[in-house]
């Protein structure tokens, strides 16, 4: 046999011998994330922990933590969305939807184009914003049209002017399939298919001329429609009929409703505070005024000018559990915080804002409050923790914005532009209160 043949014969024998040598089973066993068992032991010499994952799609053979992450928590700010009652130019931040990342200290993400406005014209101000988890769309109203934008593509899905008398602040029913939208300062509200934009009908409110703000109950059945006047109309959404009215002591400004739509809390002209009405009876049952020394002499001095849409309070919101009511102070440029856990709201503190704030929207789970001054406030501590800035670092003074959470481009949760009480949060608070009472 030649040397070459001997060499190959010997190699083959060696391979055969190796193949027949039994290998310890333990050496082939691995953990769920693919690490051999003998290495998957946490020792001082070789520290170990199982690979983490921040996305369900990472299950199985593990990848680096967050590698497949697509979850995002964002704030969508519609522009131009207000000028703080003339304190700022409504055009200072341009046109579009600016998106901010909540988890990265509200840093700028992108600007979504909305309308291409000629330089020779002033852009129309956004009059309201809403979003639907069912359609995966965000809706922008202006005094002239209503448009839907697909949240998965950032592209406009549809737009309509309807009968030419559209539109004011929209709200979405809980199933996400219907929009209730005010007309442009007329005496009716539109009911619209949220997916296609098709008009379903109108709720006529002849006693509430100049449609403006509104509030939709948590179950989507009752809508409160406010005019630029003293008489609010309560409407039934399924039947699209007005059922009663509530007459306040002065012109109605922003308002908020509680979790079961039994009470409405409304800012009024010439009042630093709010009035409370019983929705079922249509009667005003309580007037809550800030301490006189905070505002009456200043407001009574007609030589003084205040920003804030011409009234002491233009902005009111509840924390989701209704434990607090926040009210904008347009005289001292701050926010009043009322304790709402007793029979009637009681003022417990106030804090300053960086500019006139004309709107308050509570974020998801009530962690943050977003103010039209551009301030982001930690609800628990009442501290200003961030500013809503555009891509140039300028504060955005808009009254139309929403916090939204996504997974892989799909909207999972959002909030109402009106800071209304949420049934689940209220139940949790009251349940904890009852449990604490039993343990005493």
Residue-wise pLDDT for 267-294, tens only, equals: 999 999 999 999 999 999 999 999 999 9
pLDDT for the residue 14: 47
For residues 390 and 283, the answer to whether their CB atoms sit within 8 Å is no
Residue-wise pLDDT for 92-116, tens only, equals: 899 999 999 999 999 999 999 999 9
> Global pTM?
0.86
For residues 314 and 330, the answer to whether their CB atoms sit within 8 Å is yes
Q: Is the peptide bond between 139 and the residue preceding it cis, with omega within 30 degrees of 0?
A: no
Q: Give all strands (DSSP E) within 59-187, no chain letters.
A: 71-79, 96-101, 107-112, 126-132, 137-142, 145-150, 156-160, 166-172, 178-183
For the CA atoms of the chain, what is the radius of gyration? 29
- Per the structure block, which two tokens stand in for 342? 């007793």
Residue-wise pLDDT for 418-438, tens only, equals: 999 999 999 999 999 889 888
pLDDT for the residue 54: 55
The residue extents of the domains of the chain are 72-429
What CA–CA distance (Å, rounded) separates 254 from 359?
8
CATH 2.130.10.10 fits 72-429, yes or no: yes
Residue ranges, the chain, pLDDT below 50? 3-4, 6-8, 10-23, 25-27, 60-63
């Amino acid at each position: 046999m030649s040397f070459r043949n001997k060499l190959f014969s010997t190699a083959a024998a060696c391979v055969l011998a190796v193949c027949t040598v039994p290998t310890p089973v333990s050496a082939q066993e691995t953990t769920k994330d693919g690490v051999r068992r003998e290495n998957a032991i946490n020792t001082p010499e070789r520290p170990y922990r199982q690979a983490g994952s921040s996305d369900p799609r990472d299950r199985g053979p593990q990848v680096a933590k967050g590698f497949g992450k697509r979850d995002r928590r964002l704030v969508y700010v519609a522009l131009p969305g207000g000028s703080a009652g003339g304190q700022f130019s409504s055009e200072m931040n341009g046109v579009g939807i600016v998106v901010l990342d909540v988890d990265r200290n509200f840093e700028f993400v992108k600007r979504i184009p909305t309308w291409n406005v000629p330089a020779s014209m002033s852009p129309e101000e956004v009059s309201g914003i809403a979003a639907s988890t069912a359609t995966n769309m965000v809706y922008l109203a202006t005094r002239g049209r209503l448009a839907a934008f697909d949240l998965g593509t950032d592209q406009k899905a549809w737009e309509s002017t309807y009968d030419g008398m559209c539109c004011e602040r929209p709200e979405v029913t809980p199933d996400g399939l219907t929009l209730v939208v005010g007309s442009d300062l007329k005496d009716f509200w539109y009911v619209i298919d949220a997916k296609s934009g098709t008009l379903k009908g109108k709720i006529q409110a002849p006693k509430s001329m100049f449609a403006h703000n509104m509030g939709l109950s948590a179950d989507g059945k009752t809508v409160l429609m406010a005019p630029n006047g003293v008489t609010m109309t309560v409407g039934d959404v399924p039947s699209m009929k007005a059922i009663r009215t509530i007459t306040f002591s002065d012109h109605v400004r922003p308002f908020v409703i509680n979790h079961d739509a039994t009470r409405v809390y409304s800012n009024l002209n010439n009042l630093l505070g709010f009035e409370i009405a019983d929705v079922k009876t249509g009667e005003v049952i309580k007037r809550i005024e800030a301490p006189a020394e905070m505002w009456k002499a200043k407001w009574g001095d007609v030589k003084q000018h205040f920003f804030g849409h011409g009234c002491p309070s233009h902005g009111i919101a509840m924390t989701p559990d209704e434990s607090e009511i926040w009210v904008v102070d347009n005289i001292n440029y701050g926010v009043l915080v009322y304790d709402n856990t007793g029979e009637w709201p009681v003022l417990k503190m106030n804090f300053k804002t960086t500019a006139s704030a004309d709107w308050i929207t509570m974020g998801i789970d009530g962690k943050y409050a977003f103010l039209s001054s551009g301030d982001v406030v930690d609800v628990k501590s009442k501290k200003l923790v961030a500013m809503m800035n555009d891509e140039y670092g300028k504060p955005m003074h808009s009254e139309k914005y929403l916090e939204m959470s996504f997974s892989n481009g799909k909207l999972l949760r959002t909030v109402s532009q009106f800071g209304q009480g949420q049934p689940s949060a209220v139940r949790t608070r009251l349940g904890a209160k009852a449990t604490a009472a039993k343990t005493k």
